[in-house]
């Protein structure tokens, strides 16, 4: 990359030697969680010494993300990808190390907090408000969100409760709501894997647009193709450690060689 371009880059996320540790209650003494839960109810087993196991999910990860970058996160199951994203979004505290972000990162995961008993329509409004959009902005973008999601392609589903949607339909709606706004830092966790192929193509296009419109995009995916199609840089995590950080092609090639995929 040309020197002037490097100098002109604006950092959006800086992770500095980040460690994240989960504490899991009720696993002490090998007696099973019911016993441990009972101990806690009667006031025994408090503190870390008893019944609390630590899971060190992210171990000393450092990187800087710049405006306009789309960064893929890859790694085998349980390597710490989702944990790292949740920490960048400010949803998990770091054990040590620091995360600096420019603006509020938005995490678009398959678990984004929408209400299953409310209709898709109400959830579009709720999700928009949760992202800080005004009612006016939501009104303006409502039809665009519904059209992008494709929810109404086979009938009037947007007026039905979300619990009646298939998992793919629900994921599409979540993606469409989040993608309606321009984000400083947008993080997508596996969302693309749940839509059908047509929706995947649409959302990949939207990710490319979001990238151009300003912020950085992080994408966690097990689909190397999605990563290749959307990202220009890849972080490869394994056992919580950053194994490789580089251009997509280079990192995916090394990953495929290692995993045989």
Closer to ligand ATP at the Cβ: 92 or 178? 92
Rounded to whole angstroms, how far apart are CA atoms 114 and 141?
18
Please count the residues of this chain forming the interface with ligand ATP, following the rule CB under 6 A.
Answer: 12
| HSE of 50, CA atoms in CB hemisphere, 13 A | 12
Q: How far is the CB of 86 from ligand ATP (least distance, A)?
A: 8
Q: How far is the CB of 236 from ligand ATP (least distance, A)?
A: 11
Place of tokens 């990187």: 63
Closer to ligand ATP at the Cβ: 119 or 223? 223
Rounded to whole angstroms, how far apart are CA atoms 258 and 237?
13
Q: What are the φ and ψ backbone dihedral angles of 260, each rounded to 5 degrees?
A: 70, 20
DSSP state letter for 163: G
Q: List the interface residues with ligand ATP, window 82-141 (CB under 6 A).
A: 82-83
DSSP state letter for 155: S
Q: List the interface residues with ligand ATP, window 11-30 (CB under 6 A).
A: 22, 24
**Measured at the alpha carbon of residue 190, what is the angle toward residues 82 and 84, in degrees to the nearest 5?**
15
Closer to ligand ATP at the Cβ: 19 or 208? 19
Binding marks (x or -) toward ligand ATP, 45..84, rule CB under 6 A? Answer: ----------x-x-----------------x-xxxxxxx-
* Sites of contact with ligand ATP (CB under 6 A): 22, 24, 55, 57, 75, 77-83
């Amino acid at each position: 990359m040309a020197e002037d371009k490097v100098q002109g880059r604006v950092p959006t996320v800086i992770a500095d030697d980040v460690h994240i540790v989960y504490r899991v209650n009720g696993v002490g003494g090998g007696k099973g969680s019911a016993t441990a839960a009972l101990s806690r109810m009667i006031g025994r087993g408090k503190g870390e010494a008893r019944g609390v196991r630590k899971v060190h999910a992210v171990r000393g990860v450092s990187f800087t993300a710049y405006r306009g970058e789309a960064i893929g996160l890859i790694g085998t199951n349980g390597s710490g990808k989702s944990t790292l994203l949740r920490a960048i979004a400010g949803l998990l505290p770091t054990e040590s190390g620091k995360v600096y972000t420019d603006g509020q990162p938005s995490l678009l995961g398959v678990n984004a907090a929408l209400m299953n008993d409310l209709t898709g329509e109400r959830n579009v409004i709720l999700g928009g408000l949760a992202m800080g959009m005004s009612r006016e902005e939501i009104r303006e973008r409502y039809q665009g969100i519904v059209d992008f999601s494709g929810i109404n392609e086979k009938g009037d589903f947007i007026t039905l409760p979300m619990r009646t949607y298939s998992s793919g339909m629900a994921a599409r709606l979540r993606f469409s709501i989040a993608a309606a706004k321009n984000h400083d830092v947008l993080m997508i966790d596996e969302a693309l894997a749940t839509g059908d192929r047509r929706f995947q193509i649409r959302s990949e296009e939207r990710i490319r647009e979001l990238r151009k419109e300003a912020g950085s995009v992080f994408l966690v995916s097990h689909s190397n193709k999605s990563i290749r199609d959307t990202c220009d840089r890849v972080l490869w995590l394994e056992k919580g450690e950053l194994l490789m950080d580089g251009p997509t092609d280079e990192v995916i090639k090394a990953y495929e060689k290692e995993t045989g995929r």
